[in-house]
A and B are shown apart, each in its own frame.
Chain A
Amino acid sequence: MSATVNSDRKPVVVNGGPRAGEAQAARRERVLVSVQWLQENLRTPGVRVVEISVDTKLYAAGHIPGAVELNWNTDLQDQVRRDIVSKEGLEALLSARGIVPSDTIVLYGDHSNWFAAYAFWLLKIYGHADVRLLDGGRARWLSEKDGVQRPLTTEVPAVRPSVYTAHPADTSLRAHLVDVLGIVHTRSAGLVDVRSPDEFTGKVIAPPGMSETAQRAGHVPGAVSVPWGRAVNEDGTFKSDDELRELYRTAGINLERPVVTYCRIGERSSHSWFVLRHLLGVPDVRNYDGSWTEYGSVVGVPIER
């Protein structure tokens, strides 16, 4: 992807000039921290670090000092019906980890923060004010390419339990099957499929070896393919706002209109949801967490390949 955004090479002016650039920088600062910032703030009161990795062996093998863990499978999902964790469930999780609503929660994980982004989405649904992602995630912390070896520990921090009270779920951040079917018929929102190209075209139902799958392969009619990984640089950090904006525009997504993201089980799409909602500031972005494992199994819904 080219770093040059304007084909006519005029200075980039997005949303009205230099002030907009400042607004963008401020927007990033509210939701992203760098490895340098985190290393300097590991002991700052009110900063709580949480690891959520796809590979749940990683936390025990070694984590950022002071970090607690959330398990994407057993903690963040309802364990009986297919749903996100309930408000009460989330309150219990955060209370047990000694987190309070005024804390700055810094999330990180493997695969450029897939499930960290999912947790970010979930925490926003339940109204936590200050949540941020570690830009580049766990791999960026591990990387020594900048000549710095950052600490990892196997020590699990002792925490004093708190009483965490969450807000009622903000349903405007989440799309359900019925919403997606509505969009298929009315095209009232852009649909972004963030899975790999082979999943989008229906060559495979799911990547090899994945246990969560669907009955049929393909994509939701009208969806465009923007694989999640195109939003990040080689080191897993997010691309610049201009590059990201161009990425979605080129794919045919109108950023002035509502957008819905989906993938297979809702984690990679949380990553793209984060990009659209919190880096680019698109006002109405919803994550369809039912994603292909739901849509691709429903009887009678239209599918494109």
Chain B
Amino acid sequence: MNHTTRVYDSVLDLLPSEENPSPLVRLNRLAPAGSTLYVKLEWLNPFGSVKDRAAAEMIADLEAQGALRPAGQEGDGDAGRGIVEPTSGNTGISLAGIAAVRGFPMRAVVPAKVPEEKRVFLKLLGAEVDVVADAMCPLPGSEDGTIGLAKTHARASSERYAMPNQYENRANVRAHQRTTGPEIWRQTEGKVTHVFVSLGTCGTVTGLSTYLKAKNPAVRVIAVQPSAGHAVPGLRNTSELAVSALYDRSLIDELIEVDHRLAYATAVELAQREGLLAGPSTGLILAGAQQVAGRERVGLGVLIGCDGAFKYAQGFAAELARQDEQTAATGGLRQAQPHVAV
């Protein structure tokens, strides 16, 4: 592969690494005065999100163990052995993309609240998709729901599926130790002072924090979480993190909670004022970074731009309609942006 000419033998050569990092783009209008913020555009990874990293690492592990087999390898009618995974969408899409290239089956178990666009992308990449109704009054840490159905497939059809389990798989952490951390260090020439992340499986925060703090213990890692009752796909409030074994509070300098309604509103600003087509989780992270930058100088902050706007067309449609209504209600005057109060 040649990252200069950008001519490749396989889409998998585009997976991010220190030699082929995802881009860092400076915010020129939305960074509070005196602070410098960059967004790491993870949606430019080949399957559209930060999850490409964990997916590639987990699959490499399974392939090294001989746990995966392309369909047809053992003759006609061999369905192969692939992957089943509970996912809110992005990990599933990354796994399905790699599975499509490698030729093994992929089954994604998603909660009903996952945006329709993500379900379509999963099917577009050839995955079988099971949709599980969201629990009515779920027990914290319960093995019901998506995890229960995925585990059931993995155990009852073990000849057909392995389950990487991104919530417990250390390869998820290793991916960020090996790629995201070193990329940020190299791209900022070691000058990074703050990293802003969100929390899902916690693989990103645990991996990159381990790497960056070894390089410079003064780097501040700040996790932004949506307020309770949120509807930001893929993110978890710490009260919901019982299911992730990868969460390590000691690697996070500060946890800040941001009104979940700012996720879409701030992502709209990213698009309209910076030309960045980021998804709602990146909007939430920016809202958190702006809060911090209003309180302390952020010398060089890096925001993990988890994914792009394309998978949230319906969510953005609703947000834009809400803003139009608000504009009409205030006599055509655009409301002051809600996050600026810091």
Contact = CB atoms under 8 A, between A and B. Distances in A.
Nearest to B150: A61
A83 to B, nearest CB: 23
Contacts of B113: 209
Interface in A28-63: 54-55, 57-58, 61-63
A57 B149 contact: yes
A152 B133 contact: no
Contacts of A85: none
Nearest to A233: B139
B153 interface: yes
A232 B144 CA distance: 14
Contact of B144 (A110, A209, A228): A110
Contacts of B152: 58, 61-62, 142, 152
Nearest to B143: A139
A142 B137 contact: no
Interface string A198-234: 0000000001111000000000000000011100101
B157 A62 contact: yes
A152 B158 CA distance: 10
For the complex, would chain A's binding face be called helix, strand, loop or mixed by DSSP majority? loop
A283 interface: no
Interface string A104-137: 0000001110000000000000000000000000
Contact of B155 (A110, A142, A208): A142
Given A62-B157, A229-B139, 16 more contacts: A55-B133, A57-B130, A58-B149, A61-B149, A61-B153, A62-B152, A62-B155, A111-B135, A138-B144, A142-B155, A152-B152, A195-B137, A196-B137, A207-B136, A208-B134, A209-B133
A151 interface: yes
A209 B113 CA distance: 9
Contacts of B136: 196, 207, 210, 268
Contacts of B155: 62, 142, 149, 151-152
A149 B151 CA distance: 11
22 contacts: A55-B132, A55-B133, A55-B149, A57-B149, A58-B149, A61-B152, A61-B153, A62-B157, A63-B156, A110-B144, A111-B142, A111-B144, A138-B144, A139-B142, A142-B151, A152-B152, A152-B155, A152-B156, A154-B157, A196-B136, A209-B134, A210-B136
Interface in A177-209: 195-196, 207-209
A143 interface: yes
Nearest to B153: A61
A234 B139 contact: yes
Which among A139, A154, A229 has the highest number of chain B CB atoms within 10 Å? A139
Contacts of A232: 139
B140 interface: yes
Given A58-B149, A62-B153, A152-B155, A143 B139 contact: no
A62 B140 CA distance: 23
Contacts of B140: 234
B230 to A, nearest CB: 13
A186 to B, nearest CB: 30
A121 B49 CA distance: 48
B148 interface: yes
Interface in B142-183: 142-144, 148-149, 151-153, 155-157
Contacts of A234: 139-141
B143 A143 contact: yes
Given A58-B149, A58-B152, A154-B156, A142 B133 contact: no
B39 to A, nearest CB: 32
A156 B106 CA distance: 24
A270 B132 CA distance: 23
B78 to A, nearest CB: 18
A153 B156 contact: yes
B87 to A, nearest CB: 16
Nearest to A210: B136
B156 A139 contact: no
A209 B137 CA distance: 12
A274 B155 CA distance: 30
A55 B142 CA distance: 15
Contacts of B148: 58, 110, 138-139, 142
B12 interface: no
A228 B135 CA distance: 13
Nearest to B107: A61
Nearest to B139: A229
Contacts of B135: 111
Contacts of A142: 143, 148, 151-152, 155
B137 A229 contact: yes
B112 interface: yes
Contacts of B151: 142
A54 B137 CA distance: 13
A236 interface: yes
Nearest to A139: B143
* Closest 3 A/B residue pairs (Cβ): A62-B156, A139-B143, A152-B156
Which among B130, B133, B140, B142 has the highest number of chain A CB atoms within 10 Å? B142
Nearest to B140: A234
A187 to B, nearest CB: 27
A148 to B, nearest CB: 12
Nearest to A145: B143
A209 B141 contact: no
Contacts of A268: 136-137
A303 B112 CA distance: 32
Contacts of A54: 133
